[in-house]
Structure 1
Amino acid sequence: MSHIASRLSAVKPSASMAVSQAAKDLAATGIDVIDLGLGEPDFPAPAHITEAAFEAARKERMLYTASLGTPDLRKAIAGKLKRENDLDYAIDEIAVANGAKQIIFNALMATIEEGDEAILPAPYFVSYPEMVKLFGGVPVTPACPAENGFRLTPEVLEASITDKTRWLFLNMPGNPSGAVYSEAQLNALGAVLAKHPRIMVLSDEIYEHIIFDGRTFVSFGAACPELRDRTLIVNGMSKAYAMTGWRVGYAAGPRNLIKAMATIQSQSCTSVSAPAQIAATAALEGSQDDVAEFCTAFERRRNLVVEGIAKINALRLDPPEGAFYAYIGCAALIGATTPSGQTLVDDVAVTKYLLEEGHVAAVPGSAYGLSPFFRISTATSEEVLAEAVKRIGAAVGKLEN
């Protein structure tokens, strides 16, 4: 039997991927399942992006690229950061990797020592704590309840800091909550961080273009320029451009950190594939009309789900401010009895019931560090979402308290 490294003993597989697999397994038995477990836009990538990669691959040899990414792509990223976020970064302060997750993985590998702590405001993206633990770090997960808009407050941040704190992660708009921070709210967090010079900030901004109700996105880097030398801005192509399978993420940050991340990448995957980098360059430098159209569609879908869930008395959903998820409160369902006589003891049991009875796959809030909730992705058609909400309502209606 193969020996598996002990460092993996504390790391769990992705909960959203596990839910999606459970949905596929049930569907394989012939049951019509609506899988709302994964956050993946249902739109095709804009045509000019795929055409750019196709034409380049047809005409040129696709060779190794620099580990940090092609100069053309890093110039395009620098241009985007200046144009959209008012941030100035040179190309040697920019790294490209196989998705934003690999960016985060590389950054943590480059910085985390055994016992270092990372503050991950809950609810958090499922992979954050697992990556921290993989490198011997300790996730610190302060609760950021719905009453606070799922946002980290300065007081909670200050109370979470110890002499071992190495990172603060911010995700805005947030997965799973959709929470967005204003400039004033970021300034208040920055004032706390200014007193703790050892702490670095990872600002995951991959949903920045999916933002609702006329809000304006503010990058942490723009709100707190005084923390530039310890801020890593993380972004990527997957969500805004519907390019999940292309696997292109990027970061902008301090040169020494970017250089360390490049070393890791050079000794692991070498680089992102050349055609994918060409596609990403075309995305950033070409028309942004599709990005705006996608956002408009996501907002319509958000509205449909909010209105539908509001009619289910036992559930709670405050309108998400961005991203394409609904993080639905289900506290009133805990303790309820299913038609088969089972008691719903937690949100894991709730999602199991919704899959088995309603044939809707959702991810339990425990995967994101804040219960009792469940997350559904709204990155699918209005027709599918309407049917999913109908099924959820019917399943809830069969419970007895």
Structure 2
Amino acid sequence: MDQPETAGRAAGGPRRRIAVVGGGIGGLTLANALDESFQVDVFEKRATGAREGFGLNVQPAAVACLDRIGLAAGLVASGIETRAHRYVDHHGTQLHEEPRGIAAGEATPQVSVLRDELRGALLGGLGPHVRLVGDRTVDDAEVARWAGLPDATGTTPEDPSGDAAYDLVVGADGINSVVRTHVAGPREIRFGPMIMWRGITPMPRFADGRTFHLVSDPHGRRLVIYPVSAAADAAGESLLNWVLLVPTPVTDDSALALSDDDARDHLTGLVRDWDLPQLDMPRLVRGARYLRADRLRDLDPLDVWSRGKFVLLGDAAHPMYPIGAQGASQAIVDGWALAAELNAGRDRGEDPVAAAARFESARRPVVGRIVLANREMNQRELVSRGLGTTEKSAELAETAARYRLAVAGKDAPR
């Protein structure tokens, strides 16, 4: 960004104060992209140095947003530029493949990277107008006070710290958002009949070291696996991020209570009949540095993302199945898009609330379609498990094509 210009804007009047609840990928993208005419406080319950260990995919549109704030080059240098998505069965027979990123003609790559690497770059890029309040949990009443809402007695308490004077409160606080209740009221998280096992394992170089694999078996189990580390690749290895999706009734959460050793035994048993060239499945599971189980979950698309001084982004606004590898990417695009509206509005002397409304108008329909498209793709991939190789290949190709159209905001042919 043009520093002299932003400095001039800051000097032209009092800074607008923005509270960002949540220092994850979306909230930190917003904080990086807001110009110096804003005073930004980011409240994050995790300590600044907390690490998660897993990987994620950053789609080309999100890489383009990171490029505008000067962070894309470092992302590409530390991660892996994805060449293709390849669908195979549990014996390694290829069912479908499609190019991705630069190989698909995009102007920017698709990048697979460690979440910690991306979050670290976002933390390192924060300007002096951003204050990070780490290891800080905020509650519903506090968030309401920041926006100047009255308490249960009908009065707005005075806050010596001045925290009640925020011009905008951004809910970037994830699937269990406290800010969402102020915007949309209580909403029920929707749990799916699937357990997701996440792991990350150092292995010998997998395939070409650039391809995102999606493996499926006749029982509806699916493995998503891709390399995330340029350093490992340079050493002739692959640091593989993986998610194993296991159909499990919503009423059965017993797998979530397994000890680490029992979980590894359980997963090894589930894939004992898999025979994948270049991938030792028992080694993948037993050698995982981190292992975590969660139930597949999302939220019906909201009919509102902003209300008064509150606005949502990322998983607070649109938690989605990870089926399309879009969650982090859409949070990045949200953060950039909201910052762009706020920066432009500040130039016009506009209230941030109006900018937030424009952001919602542009982004909510787009991301709502992606939430539903992820559900559809999950269901179609499950249904295809009973098909023969030829029929399954055709079904996967159609599913992928329909999904690309949904992400692009277009209707699939009927």
Regarding TM over 0.5, the answer is: no
Provide the TM-score with structure 2 as the length reference. Answer: 0.26
Comparing both structures, which one devotes a greater share of its residues to helix?
A: 1
Comparing both structures, which one devotes a greater share of its residues to strand?
A: 2
